[in-house]
Structure 1
Amino acid sequence: MERINYHNKRFKAISNSENGEVDSETFFHYRQGGDVIWATYYGTNIRMGTITGIVKEDSSLEFTYQHVNINNEIMTGKCTSTPEKQSDGSLIMKETWEWTCKDFSKGTSEIAELVEKENLVRLF
């Protein structure tokens, strides 16, 4: 697979472990410079979040995240995210993550790339 460029890709969460704070109304906006990625995210339970990490040779991502939740708690964690290309060319990212705060529990999640048609629908 050709190395993926994540710059300006947008994603929506489609699944998450029960101990996570991301839900189906959580949206991510990725940016990339070289092999460094960063993103912002927000959702039902998350007022504002950021991601900082690297794109590995196989296009998987390794990053840390932090966000302020609706209870005004600062939550932190680390994640590995592996891309799966879909038949329409979009990506689903399969993630394994771990909190680096509170209970230090682990989980899994998936986020799906929003294609142009979906982005336009959300504007109206």
Structure 2
Amino acid sequence: MTLNYDGKRFHPVEDSSADPSRVAVYHQDGDLLWGEFLGGKARRGALTGTVNADGTLEFAYCMVNEDGDVISGHCASTPHLLDDGRVRLEEVWERYGAHESSGVSVIEELPAEIPAQTVRTGS
């Protein structure tokens, strides 16, 4: 599956409802992937990793949550194409350190017509 994640915006899938206040924006250059996310309990987060030839993702992430805790971890994501052409990612994640945890979550590409909270880069 050949996918380009550059500029794609994703949100968590919960009860089949889009929550545009929780958003991740992905960027891609060749096999290099990076992104930013915020919303929900994450005040700010970043990820960096790679895109494999089959479209799967491997990345590390770090974030600051609403309590000011700094959390880091690893994620492996498997893409699935939806009937309308958007991408759904099944994420197998693991958190390290004092916030050690693991699980599976699902995020889905936001349709272009749904505005999302702006994720600021830089400052």
| Alpha-carbon distance in structure 1 between the residues aligned to 2:22 and 2:93 | 16
What does the per-residue CA deviation read over 1:25-72, in whole Å, with 9 as the maximum and x for residues that have no partner? 421000011100000000121110000000011100000000000111
1:21 matched to which residue of 2? none
1:33 matched to which residue of 2? 29
Instruction: State the SS of the aligned residue for 1:102.
Output: helix
Amino acid paired to 2:3: I
The CA RMSD over aligned residues, in Å, is 1.5
Shift of residue 94 of structure 1?
0.3
Are residues 1:96 and 2:87 paired?
no
Residue correspondence of structure 1 range 85-124 to structure 2 within 5 A:
85-119=81-115
Residue correspondence of structure 1 range 1-124 to structure 2 within 5 A:
1=1, 3-15=2-14, 25-119=21-115
Amino acid paired to 2:4: N
Shift of residue 118 of structure 1?
1.9
Structure 2 residue ranges without an equivalent (≥5):
118-123
Instruction: Provide TM-score, normalisation by structure 2.
Output: 0.85
Identity %: 36
Moved over 2 A (4+): none
Structure 1 residue ranges without an equivalent (≥5):
16-23
| Alpha-carbon distance in structure 1 between the residues aligned to 2:55 and 2:11 | 19
Instruction: State the SS of the aligned residue for 1:95.
Output: strand
| Alpha-carbon distance in structure 1 between the residues aligned to 2:87 and 2:40 | 23
Number of aligned positions between the proteins: 112
